[in-house]
Structure 1
Amino acid sequence: MAIVVREYDAKTDRSAAEAVDRMCEVGTSGKASLCMDLLGDPLSRVRHSPAYLMLVAETTGPVKEIVGVVRGSVKVIACGRNNPRQGGGGTMKSRTPVYTKVGYVLGLRVLPSHRRIGVGLELVKRMEDWFREKAAEYAYMATEKGNAASLRLFTGRCGYTKFRTPSILVHPVFAHRFALPRCAAVLRLPPAYAEAIYRRRFSATEFFPRDIDAVLANPLSVATLLAVPAGCAAAERWPGVEAFLAAPPESWAMASVWDSGGVFQLEVRGASRLRRAAAAATRAADRAAPWLRIPSVPDLFRPFRAWFLYGIGGEGPEAAAMAAAVWRVAHNGAMGAAAVVAVEVAETEPLRQGIPRWRQLSVAEDVWCVKRLAEEYSDGAVGDWTKSAPGSSIFVDPREL
């Protein structure tokens, strides 16, 4: 059977591409599967990126059928840093980032009836050709540890190597608010202040996007939250971003909130009646006795929205407690707007202990694989990035969920 790979045409391919997406789950949890609804826009997962492309695989002959799709984006990110230097007489160090251009492969779907005949391989190869046209030096992708078929394709046939293994921490949004810890005050930062702190503090973190200003200005970026110790000068009166950077509190943490529901909705399918009934029982009990603050599981068996925390980071001995305060404010803001709050962090992220998660909903190991696209590119300040050791943190761009 002959297959042609071509660029997606929204006028003619939309319904067929949506059908491919609907028939292919995006994750599994036991016998249940997690499905994604792109809200009638197959390009929604990439259109917020600086450059993007969607390809379709189509059968030839009298009756043509779209049997596979893939999406890709290209952007400039940090892949490391030069030696830190002391900044401006303050206590916060400045790190000079080393940038590279990368392509990201996401949303690869092939109909079950057309798998194992090279459709996925051809889609990835064509996407990599576009990455090279855009002068991308690296390509990367992400998949669950248990997705053996995806790992075989990328690491076995496409030349990618396992690179980083962050965790996806997911927590349901309850019907009651979390009280804020007395040790912290949480401030809401305007985008300009958030950008300044991100660039000065996080810009050398792996995968930090150079166009962070565009991410923060996106309508889907709900807020940036900064937690500082209660009673400190910044909590009583905001000193301005430059003064904060020059003399930050001993401990602090921040993160931004992205409304993924503006791009896609998720739904758990195939769960047993027992699990559905148990989840419904927690909601009923919580409604009947809200003063008991019973942990209730939202209805995840119908399309639901997710809020995502990105850019999480901070410093100081109480930074994890500050991160917990940020998370609680985000959770409270998500009430009525989303069913879960999620964050993806490096396995060695110091602040992950402050992030609540439910094991049943979370992904312990999300595998990121990377490939160098052309050997003739300059090695740059970090050499071959694919061979570099992981740092303690990672910046997850919410546009690539």
Structure 2
Amino acid sequence: MGEEASSTAMVQVSVREFDPNKDRESVEAVERICEVGPSGKLSLFTDLHGDPITRVRNSPTFLMLVAEIGEETVGMIRGCIKTVTCGKKLQRLDKTTTKQVPVYTKLAYILGLRVSPFHRRMGIALKLVQAIEKWFSDNGAEYSYMATENDNEASVKLFTEKCGYSKFRTPSILVNPVFAHRVSTNSSRVTIIPLAPADAESLYRSRFATTEFFPRDIDSVLNNKLTLGTFLAVPKDCRYSHDTWQGAEEFLLDPPGSWAVVSVWNSKDMYTLEVKGASRVNRALAKATRLVDRALPWLKLPSFPNLFEPFGFQLMYGLGGFGPDAVTMVRALCGLTHNLAKEQGCRVVATEVSSTEPLRFGVPHWKMLSCEEDLWCIKRLGEDYSDGAVGDWTKSPPGFSIFVDPREF
């Protein structure tokens, strides 16, 4: 992508594509001085591998742009493009199979917009957004969306008032600490079966492919080296077990009355987090809970892990299920994920769900670490649709569920 230059506040600002050989150190420097997230919450700290584009590299089409004044890097933005479904209400009839199939749309995602605190209120953020949107449009994206904290007034104002985005969805980010002790998976009532990627793909495509934001390349996500596994929870007394499992096709023909599924993504190998703004008193109290938990693990006390220095986490994605006991199944899967995170040396487990998701009641989380109302804003970039006229997605009402792509978290 070529350079674009404009005069802003008596300075010349240029925007160009990120060069990993030239820009890595300067981009990391801007990342470090930018606040990410509210004080006392989880905040992006640094990329473990020193590569600022890692978070979108797993997406099929991605780009990173940097803004410069002279030779100084003053901002950056990341973007990726993927194909997703618009939700259950947007379906069409496949004339060859007479089955309902998902309607897909090409969706772009903006993340990692940063501007140096010393160069704000100069129009740099707007210029970066406009440049990445041009790349989106040039590559056929029909919609663009972004996520921000609901109380981030500057970000919300930039996108809704200056860039033409509208508020779209308000999911919740649920975060739970990883304790020094293992937690229950309710093994007396629930059987958890690890699924091969092919079985997981069949299950997701059969039951969740019309969930909003479901990626058409779910197979790429499930086969990614960062996916640690997909796990299916079923009642202990049903006919499915580790020994009797014959594959997803048989399961889908005769599922039990209740079941749930989740996949686990290893974000630890991508970047680390850090809680900032905690007082010395709170740090000391947190340390005391960890000491007691280590000394008396059988008490299963909810200790507070050390989140005041860079740490890794695991992300649960693809959370879904059916039946009256699905919430119980989800609790068992969360217990398994917690124990897996403990073995991997992670300090929290996170997931993002729709604010109306019924299964969220099975997800343990600490309110002080979670974000009850994240904000997704969306913009329609074009009028044409590859899968036929499906209307304007930006005006559709929310469904009960969303599918959160771990490549963008």
> 2 CA distance for matches of 1:184 and 1:370?
39
Query: Which of 306, 310, 313 is matched with 2:320 structurally?
Result: 313
Q: How many residues align?
A: 389
User: Match for 2:37 among 21, 24, 27?
Assistant: 27
User: What's the CA shift for 1:275?
Assistant: 1.2
Q: Give the aligned partner of residue 89 of structure 1.
A: none
Question: Secondary structure, in 3 states, of the residue corresponding to 1:46?
Answer: helix
Over residues 284-333 of structure 1, what are the superposed CA-to-partner deviations in whole Å (9 max), with x where a residue is unaligned?
A: 11122222111111110111001000000010011111111111111111
- How far the C-alpha of 1:381 sits from its partner, in A, is 4.9
Aligned to 2:278: 271
2:215 matched to which residue of 1? 209
- Looking at structure 2, the residues matched to 224 and 243 of structure 1 have their Cα atoms a distance apart, in angstroms, of 17
The 10-residue stretch of structure 1 (261-270 or 154-163) with the greater mean CA deviation from structure 2: 261-270
Match of 1:91 in 2: none
For 2:266 and 2:398, locate their aligned partners in 1 and report how far apart those are by CA, in whole Å.
28
2:401 to 380, 393, 398: 393
Deviates more, 1:182-191 or 1:117-126: 182-191
The CA distance in 2 between the partners of 1:84 and 1:15, in whole Å, is 48
RMSD: 1.6
Secondary structure of the 1:233 match is coil
Equivalent position to 1:37, from 38, 46, 49: 46
For the Cα contact (< 8 Å) 1:251–1:314, is it kept in 2? Answer: yes
Sort the Cα spacing of 1:80 and 1:382 in 2 relative to 1 into closer, same or farther, 3 A: farther
**Which secondary structure does the structure 2 equivalent of 1:347 belong to?**
coil
Whole-angstrom distance in 1 between the partners of 2:27 and 2:167: 29
Which residue, 258, 265, 268 being the options, matches 1:258?
265
Q: What are the residue-to-residue correspondences of 1:208-247 with 2, within 5 Å?
A: 208-235=214-241, 237-247=244-254
Contact 2:39 2:276 in 1 (8 A): no
Give the corresponding residue for 1:101: 106
- CA distances 1:231-252 after superposition (whole Å, capped 9, x unpaired): 2011362132111011111100
Aligned to 1:132: 137
Q: How far 1:84 sits from its partner (Å)?
A: 9.3
Distance change (3 Å), C-alpha of 1:226 and 1:379: closer
Q: Offset at 1:83? A: 5.5
- Gapped regions of structure 1 (runs ≥ 5): 86-93
**Counterpart for residue 90 of structure 1:** none
For 2:31 and 2:275, locate their aligned partners in 1 and report how far apart those are by CA, in whole Å: 15
Write the distance in 1 (CA, Å) between the matches of 2:273 and 2:261: 26
Q: State how far apart, in whole Å, the 2-side matches of 1:392 and 1:226 are.
A: 21
Letter in 2 for 1:226: L
Q: Which runs of 4+ in 1 moved over 6 A?
A: none
Determine helix, strand or coil for the equivalent of 1:302: coil
SS at match of 2:57: coil
Q: CA deviation at 1:263?
A: 0.9
Which residue in 2 is equivalent to 1:291? 298
Whether the 8 Å contact between 1:161 and 1:370 is mirrored in structure 2 is yes
Residues 198, 252 of structure 1: CA spacing in aligned structure 2 closer, same or farther, 3 A cutoff? Answer: same
Alignment match of 2:366 (pick from 358, 361, 365):
358
Structure 2 unaligned residues grouped into runs of 5+: 1-10, 94-98
Q: Which residue identity is paired with 2:192?
A: V
What are the superposed Cα offsets for residues 63-86 of structure 1, whole Å, 9 maximum, x if unpaired?
x2000000000010111245599x
Judge conservation of contact 1:80–1:382 (CA < 8 Å) in 2.
no
Which residue type is aligned with residue 403 of structure 2? F
**Distance in 2, Cα, partners of 1:381 & 1:325:** 42
Identity between Structure 1 and Structure 2 (%) = 56
